[in-house]
Structure formats: C-alpha cells, structure tokens
C-alpha cells in the first residue's frame, strides 16, 4: 500500500513521530504491510471478545470519589499552565511542510 505525503503528515501530526527520513518511511511501510495481513484472517462466525481473558469476566469497580478539591496542589506539578489546565508540550518534533516530505516518498 502506498504511503502518500498527506497520510504521512496526518500520522506525524497524530503520533508526533518523525517520518521525514527514508528509514522512518520504511519502518512505517513495514508496519502497514504487517497490519494488512490482519485483513486476510477469516473472522466469520467469531464473536467479538469483551476481554482478552476468555475464561473470566472483567468487573468494573465503583467510581467512588474519596478525595477532592486538590486542583491547586496538583497544578503545582505543572511546568506550564493556563488558568486551571495543564499545558501539554507541542510535541517532540517540528512538523515539516508537506512539500518537504514528498522527496522521500517519490521512490515508492
């Protein structure tokens, strides 16, 4: 399956992973090839599982609040915050322009 520059850009944006070099693109292609094999598995008549533990049920615990009103204390751990929210880092890589990515994809 072909990896287009548009799909590559979307994946980089979602995963914050750098696919700008040939090695990164090759690893992505191998992952897609592996995932495509799953489409060949015949699952007719197989019911979806609720759990990977076939012989046991998973029980959900009650969601009981035992502590609270600790927002200020928790926000002390934040490197950066806005109002009462943690600010997540922008990602571990700068996102390249779409036209810069196409050079690695032309050999496919």
Q: What is the pLDDT of residue 100?
A: 60
The Cβ of residue 19 has, within 10 Å, a number of other Cβ atoms equal to 23
Q: How many residues does the chain have?
A: 108
47-97 pLDDT, tens digit per residue, is 887 777 777 776 777 888 788 888 888 888 888 888 888 887 665 555 556
pTM: 0.39
Between these two residues, 56 and 45, which has the higher pLDDT value? Answer: 45
Distance CA 87, CA 44 (A): 46
Q: What is the pLDDT of residue 108?
A: 47
Q: What's the rounded mean pLDDT across residues 23-29?
A: 79
Distance CA 78, CA 102 (A): 38
């Amino acid at each position: 399956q072909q990896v287009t520059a548009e799909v590559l850009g979307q994946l980089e944006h979602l995963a914050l992973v750098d696919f700008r070099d040939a090695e990164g693109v090759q690893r992505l292609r191998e992952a897609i090839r592996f995932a495509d094999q799953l489409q060949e598995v015949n699952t007719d008549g197989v019911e979806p599982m609720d759990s990977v533990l076939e012989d046991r049920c998973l029980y959900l615990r009650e969601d009981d609040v035992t502590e609270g009103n600790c927002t200020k204390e928790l926000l002390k751990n934040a490197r950066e915050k806005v109002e009462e929210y943690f600010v997540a880092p922008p990602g571990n890589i700068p996102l390249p322009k779409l036209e810069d990515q196409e050079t690695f994809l032309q050999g496919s």
